[in-house]
A and B are shown apart, each in its own frame.
Chain A
Amino acid sequence: GNSVTQMEGPVTLSEEAFLTINCTYTATGYPSLFWYVQYPGEGLQLLLKATKADDKGSNKGFEATYRKETTSFHLEKGSVQVSDSAVYFCALSPPGSSASKIIFGSGTRLSIRP
């Protein structure tokens, strides 16, 4: 079946460090892939997405590339800020399915030290 596995947290980094949060998936065909972020006291919000292999999603300095060969969608940022402290969720949508079929990972909590 379809599933998403992301690295366990918490991840703690110093400001301006390089960030990678790993996400791998299992799915039939070519799912759409997403990263959602939940800032403290707020709901989840879409950070970026990619809908086909080799696509790169980007937003707010974050990037993730859809890698079919490694079934991965790792989230990266070159220089993190304290304001990036949040919980990050990787998610996939099976091909041709509706939003009701989105599968979410367990979330990775990121804390950035000043």
Chain B
Amino acid sequence: NAGVTQTPKFRILKIGQSMTLQCTQDMNHNYMYWYRQDPGMGLKLIYYSVGAGITDKGEVPNGYNVSRSTTEDFPLRLELAAPSQTSVYFCASSTTGDPGNTIYFGEGSWLTVV
């Protein structure tokens, strides 16, 4: 049972570097999400997608880009990393946008920008 898989689990970036957090799900879910969690704070939505080829901004999209070329994959791109992007990142997916449906989360990716 793979579910939602995100890589890498841990990464240290230097200021100004770029990287991609990979996320893939094997449940054929239409909806996918990227969240970030800063210390002592709740999860905040960065971007989400309602299907292949469709993405939309969440609450905190600045400094990030996403694409959704397939149902399975939803990579998150960080351009010109900044210390403010030090956080834990969670990818998630669900069958529909109904909040009553279970949202499945990945294990998280710890990113430090120095």
Listed in ascending order, the chain A residues whose CB lies under 8 Å from chain B are 4, 8, 32, 34, 36, 38, 41-46, 49, 51, 89, 91, 93, 97-107
Q: Counting CB contacts under 8 A, is B21 at the interface? A: no
> Is A99's CB under 8 angstroms from B31's CB?
yes
**Do the beta carbons of B107 and A99 come within 8 Å of each other?**
no
For B3, give its contact among A32, A43, A105 (CB under 8 Å).
Answer: A43
Q: Which range contains the number of B residues in contact with the other chain?
A: 20 to 34
User: Which residues from A are CB-within-8-Å of B84?
Assistant: none
B→A interface (CB under 8 Å): 3-4, 31, 33, 35, 37, 40-43, 45, 48, 56, 58, 90, 92, 94, 96-108
Q: Specify which chain B residues have a CB less than 8 angstroms from the CB of A100 in the assembled complex.
A: 31, 33, 45, 48, 56, 58, 97
Query: What 9 A-B pairs are tightest by C-beta distance, nearest first?
Result: A43-B105, A93-B99, A98-B97, A104-B42, A44-B105, A104-B43, A99-B99, A100-B48, A46-B102
Q: Are B42 and A103 in contact (CB under 8 A)?
A: yes
A43 to B108, CA, bound (A): 7
Considering only CB atoms, which chain B residue lies closest to A105 in the complex? B42
